[in-house]
């Protein structure tokens, strides 16, 4: 029996899905969304809040402010509600409506940025807004998920070890790159404790994180319009960029098997499938991290009109999609 008093006290860290029946290659998907925040971001949010409380930065009466495309915002909304802090989430127009509503239901104030910064896009504009808020009220506390070391340390202490315990013979790990907290923490763990493991970073086409050109990105989560300050490519063996159409197709294929995952997970699985098609060898053990579940994407990647408006008809060259009309 598990009994908790705070929602962040519960997180399932040892659930894996065997995707070989779907992909034809052996791949185990580490599911990170089985908690009350619904995503891997609960780990970073909890670690950053606890560290800020410990060093006195976060005190009674403080109001958290953070830039987030969605999932970290939900995690911080939940923790702030539990601990009695205010919370302002600065997001942009790509954030799913369900996610915005969830944050507001938990008591957060949501600021939606619609005009991109001329050089650093919507993320740059969000960060500018955060800085303006900080200058306006001394009660605001910015945890800054983009450069806060407690973000990656959370995964060094939990995610990496959990994979190693479950699969001591793991050969390759696929990890999505957004702020790169999950990527850096997990990659650093394997570099220190299992250096033979190959780390493959997964990014979205249009993201500038690894030096590729900026382009339109409509699915929140992975990718960035600004190079992540935490990123250290010395810990990454390879990078795979995934088109958003492939993300959508992969999410729908997973849904047709009964597993409803979010856009970040679809991107990671699409990359892993491509890599394994070219590199899989008998006996290889591969693990991919699934950052999110799919319920918050019902009005976007699982919605027919949204897909058709942005990408055209994706049913013409693939199996029928699991669409909501």
Predicted pLDDT of residue 322: 60
If asked whether residues 182 and 276 sit together in one domain, one would say: yes
The pLDDT of residue 133 is above 80: yes
Do 210 and 251 lie in one domain? The reply is yes
Neighbours of 213 (CB within 10 A): 8
Looking at the structure, do residues 68 and 159 belong to the same domain, yes or no? no
pLDDT at 114 over 60: yes
Residue 267: which domain range?
7-39+149-311
Q: Is-above-0.85 flag for pTM?
A: yes
In this structure, the answer to whether residues 166 and 273 fall within a common structural domain is yes
163/17 same-domain check: yes
Tell me what the mean pLDDT of segment 234-251 comes to.
98
Distance (Å, whole) CA 250 – CA 304: 15
Count CB atoms within 10 A of the CB of residue 174.
28
CB contact at 8 A, 28 and 17: yes
Residue 314 — pLDDT band, cuts 50, 70, 90? confident
Query: Same domain for 78 and 204?
Result: no
Residue where one domain finishes, among candidates 110, 127, 142? 142
pLDDT at 126: 94
Per-residue confidence (pLDDT) for residue 321, from 0 to 100? 66
Do 300 and 178 lie in one domain? The reply is yes
Instruction: Please report whether residue 66 resides in a domain.
Output: yes
59: which strand partners?
none
**Co-location of 47 and 27 in the same domain:** no
| DSSP classification of residue 258 | T
- Is the Cβ–Cβ distance between 90 and 129 less than 8 Å? yes
Instruction: Specify if 171 maps to a domain.
Output: yes
For residues 222-247, average pLDDT: 96
What is the tens place of the pLDDT at every residue in 36-55?
Answer: 999 999 999 999 999 999 99
Query: Considering the domain boundaries, does residue 318 fall inside one?
Result: no
Of 120-134, 212-226, 230-244, highest mean pLDDT: 230-244
What per-residue confidence (pLDDT) applies to 247? 97
Measuring CA to CA, which residue among 189, 294, 310 is closest to residue 244?
310
Q: Is residue 321 in some structural domain?
A: no
Residue at a domain's end among 107, 142, 177:
142
Tell me the pLDDT band of 32, cut-offs 50, 70 and 90.
very high
Tell whether 188 is covered by a domain: yes
Confidence of residue 281 (pLDDT cuts 50, 70, 90): confident
**How many C-beta neighbours within 10 Å does residue 83 have?**
16
Average pLDDT estimate for 88-97: 93
Indicate if the pLDDT at residue 323 is higher than 80: no
Tell me how many domains the chain contains: 2
Degrees to nearest 5, angle at CA 292 with 36 and 164: 95
Counting residues of the chain whose pLDDT is more than 70, the rounded percentage is 97
Which class for 216: exposed (0-12), middle (13-18), buried (19 or more C-beta within 10 A)?
exposed
Query: Residue 282 has what pLDDT?
Result: 87
Is residue 284 within 8 A of residue 170, CB to CB? The reply is no
pLDDT the model gives residue 80: 98
Distances from the Cα of 244 to the Cαs of 124, 263, 287, 318, in angstroms? 22, 9, 22, 15
The Cα–Cα gap between 241 and 125 comes to 24
Judged by DSSP in three states, 279 sits in: helix
90 and 157 in a single domain? The answer is no
Residues contacting 76, CB < 8 A, separation 6+: 45, 49, 64, 66, 68, 87, 89, 108, 143
> Which range scores top for mean pLDDT: 92-106, 180-194, 217-231?
180-194
Centre a 10 Å sphere on the Cβ of residue 161 and count the other Cβ atoms it contains: 16
Which residues are CB-neighbours of 196 under 8 A, at least 6 positions away? 171
Structure confidence at residue 108 (pLDDT): 97
Q: Report yes or no: 109 and 78 within 8 Å, Cβ to Cβ.
A: no
With respect to residue 16, please indicate whether it lies within any of the assigned structural domains. yes
Residue 120 has pLDDT above 90, yes or no: no
pLDDT at 324 over 90: no
Is the confidence at residue 112, as pLDDT, over 60?
yes
Tell which of 142, 173, 195 closes a domain.
142
In a domain, 2, yes or no: no
- Asked if 76 contacts 68 with a C-beta cutoff of 8 angstroms, the reply is yes
pLDDT score recorded for residue 166: 98
Average pLDDT over residues 155-179: 98
CA 37 – CA 72 distance, rounded (Å): 8
| 208 and 304 belong to one structural domain | yes
**165 and 293 both lie in a single domain:** yes
Contacts of 46 (CB under 8 A, 6+ apart): 8, 75, 79, 154
Residue 260 belongs to some domain of the structure: yes
Would you say residue 317 has pLDDT above 60? no
The domain that holds 14 is classified in CATH as 3.40.50.1100
Per residue in 44-85, pLDDT (tens digit) is 999 999 999 999 999 999 999 999 989 999 999 999 999 999
The answer to whether residues 137 and 153 belong to one domain is no
Decide: 238 and 276 in contact? Cβ < 8 Å: no
């Amino acid at each position: 029996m598990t009994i908790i008093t705070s929602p962040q006290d519960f997180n399932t860290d040892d659930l894996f899905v065997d995707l070989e029946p779907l992909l034809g290659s052996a791949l185990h998907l580490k599911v990170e969304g089985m908690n009350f925040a619904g995503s891997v971001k609960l780990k970073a949010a909890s670690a950053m809040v606890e560290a800020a409380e410990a060093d006195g930065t976060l005190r009674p009466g403080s109001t958290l402010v953070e830039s987030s495309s969605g999932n970290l915002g939900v995690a911080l909304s939940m923790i702030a509600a539990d601990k009695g802090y205010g919370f302002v989430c600065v997001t942009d127009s790509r954030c799913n409506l369900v996610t915005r509503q969830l944050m507001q239901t938990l008591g957060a104030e949501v600021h939606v940025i619609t005009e991109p910064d001329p050089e650093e896009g919507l993320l740059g504009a969000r960060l500018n807004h955060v800085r303006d808020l900080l200058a306006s009220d001394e009660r605001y506390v910015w945890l800054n998920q983009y450069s806060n070391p407690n973000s990656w340390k959370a995964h060094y202490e939990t995610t990496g070890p959990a994979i190693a315990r479950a699969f001591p013979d793991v050969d390759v790990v696929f990890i999505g790159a957004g702020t790169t907290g999950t990527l850096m923490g997990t990659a650093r763990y394997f570099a220190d404790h299992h250096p033979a493991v190959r780390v493959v970073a997964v990014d979205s086409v249009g993201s500038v994180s690894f030096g590729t050109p900026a382009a339109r990105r409509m699915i929140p989560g992975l990718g960035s319009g600004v190079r992540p300050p935490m990123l250290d490519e010395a810990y990454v063996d390879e990078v795979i960029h995934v088109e958003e159409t492939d993300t959508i197709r992969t999410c729908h294929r997973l849904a047709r098997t009964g597993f409803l995952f979010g856009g970040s997970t679809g991107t990671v699985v699409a990359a892993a499938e491509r890599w394994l098609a070219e590199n899989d060898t008998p006996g290889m053990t591969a693990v991919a991290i699934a950052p999110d579940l799919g319920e918050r994407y019902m009005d976007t990647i699982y919605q027919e009109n949204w897909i058709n408006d942005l990408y055209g008809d994706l049913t013409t060259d693939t199996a029928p999609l699991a669409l909501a009309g």
